Amino acid sequence: MGQGRTAPPMRLLPLFLTLIALGCSHAASPAPTSSQRGAEELRALLAELIAVDTSNPPGNETAAAQVAARWLREAGIEAEIIEPAPGRGNLLARLKGSGKERPLLVLAHLDTVPVKREEWATDPWQLTERAGFLYGRGVQDNKGMAAASVLALRRLGREGVKLSRDIILYLGADEEVGAGHGLEWMLANRPALREAELALNEGGLTELDADRRRVRFVALQAAERVSRNVVLKATGPGGHSSAPPAAPNPLVRVSAAVARIGALTFPARLTPAARLHLQGRAPLTPGELGEALRRIAASPDAPPQDAVDTVARLDPALAAVMRSTCVPTVFQAGTRPNVIPATAEATINCRLLPDEDAKALHARLVAAVADPSIQVEMNTSPPDSPMSPVGDNAMFRAARAAAARVWPGVPVIPRQSTGTTESSLLRRAGIHAYGIDLFALTPEDARTAHAPNERIPVTSLQPGAEFVYLLLRELAR
């Protein structure tokens, strides 16, 4: 396959057919509208970014940053590439405003997770159109946003829009691994980044109905849960399996503890972002799930347990927004079939609500383990994940204004993500960060991020570019 440009874009097809019908083989082609040009440019830049393999490790982001820098410089926008380590390029560019307000920081990351080539139906490093989708590693996560942000800056610059604040574009390295070559390094070494008041990052959710007819909601990530690993450790004398000692061996003890922790659930509780999210989702959700969401969102205190159980059964990801979770993920014990292990260790990955009491959660785990011979190791310092303000503020007003133009009538609501993003670093630096998802995706599309055959619907491309442009323009009015 070529670059996904084998057929004229759907939008241009009626015009194309009309010209053929009129026999206008010499008709002058009409000037493209700016949104048509935007969609073509987005596809071209996205194809160039995807063609650079930035699988992390090793990353090799500089080559992709150079592509973005060229597109910016062509439009007269200075771009600097900073390498904390060879090949690990981070791009910074700035569109100047009047300075009336503190800057807006727009972020996207250029590295991707690696691929297993044999699991892909297309070349992961060639943007490919097939049956209404664009495929390529990073098309969602996160080169689509990188490309749309570059083009939004170019368009704002070209149109000479007067800005009340600087817009700083940061295209980062090393988001997927976090080995110190990306945002954390840049925040420490480029203090100008910390001057930003607001930031736009990945992590939102713009959900397309399963039948792909309409966008259900636009959710801006304003808070996220915190990942903490808990390690259970037991030791014993070991020995030959043919003559077991009286005391149960470490493997048996840790296994029993893992089973008890696996059966634990933590109480449901709504942070402000989670409450507004469920309130927004309830009227859009039919049936039993919608009814459960309505009851949870309406309860001022602890949500009704039967409603929480219903959500956990019908939409586990939504249930995880309402409480901390602890999931056993790794077990290590034993070397040979006939040797009783002297040590056994299990790792439990906990995801804490952003305002969770980590000490209390640890105490709950210790009580569940109910075996003083097992160590339960965990970092019990308070979660360092501030939440960005939600409600009627500049970010939500701007997002509502932009969404009203692109997806008329679609609600804009906050979201607390179950996973983590680099926005926690920004929030710790005092910047109000929000996650967007510029491309409308069905849950099935969204699951292809980090998976084989990563894709976006072709029809989501142009509205996504328009949304980013309008949102930046609104925020810097």
Task: Candidates 133-141, 190-198, 204-212, 284-292: pick the segment binding Zn ion (CB under 5 A).
Answer: 133-141
CA dist., res. 329 & res. 258, Å (int): 10
CA dist., res. 423 & res. 221, Å (int): 9
Task: Candidates 25-33, 136-144, 259-267, 321-329: pick the segment binding Zn ion (CB under 5 A).
Answer: 136-144
CB of 203 to Zn ion, least distance (A): 10
CB of 422 to Zn ion, least distance (A): 10
Backbone conformation region of residue 465, classed left if phi is above 0, alpha if psi is from -120 to 50, else beta: alpha
Nearer of residues 141 and 174 to Zn ion, judged by Cβ? 141
CB of 321 to Zn ion, least distance (A): 19
Helix (H) or strand (E) holding 133: strand 133-135
Residue 98 half-sphere exposure toward CB, CA atoms < 13 A: 9
Nearer of residues 8 and 419 to Zn ion, judged by Cβ? 419
- Single-letter residue type at 249: N
Q: Are 166 and 172 in contact (CB under 8 A)?
A: no
* Cα-Cα end-to-end distance for the chain: 43
CB of 450 to Zn ion, least distance (A): 6
How crowded is residue 151: how many other Cβ atoms within 10 Å of its Cβ? Answer: 24
Q: Under the criterion CB under 5 A, does residue 174 sit at the interface with Zn ion?
A: no
> Any alpha helices (H) in 135-271, and if so which ranges?
143-159, 183-189, 250-262
Task: Candidates 134-142, 183-191, 339-347, 408-416: pick the segment binding Zn ion (CB under 5 A).
Answer: 134-142
Nearer of residues 129 and 141 to Zn ion, judged by Cβ? 141
| Structure-block tokens of residue 254 | 């840790």
How crowded is residue 282: how many other Cβ atoms within 10 Å of its Cβ? Answer: 18
Cis, bond preceding 393 (omega within 30 deg of 0): no
CA dist., res. 263 & res. 260, Å (int): 5
Out of 61, 129, 141, 454, the only residue in the binding site for Zn ion (CB under 5 A) is: 141
Nearer of residues 114 and 389 to Zn ion, judged by Cβ? 114
Nearer of residues 69 and 449 to Zn ion, judged by Cβ? 449
CB of 293 to Zn ion, least distance (A): 28
Nearer of residues 55 and 241 to Zn ion, judged by Cβ? 55
CB of 421 to Zn ion, least distance (A): 9
CB of 451 to Zn ion, least distance (A): 11
Q: How many residues bind Zn ion (CB under 5 A)?
A: 1
Task: Candidates 135-143, 189-197, 318-326, 462-470: pick the segment binding Zn ion (CB under 5 A).
Answer: 135-143
Residues that bind Zn ion in the complex, under the rule CB under 5 A: 141
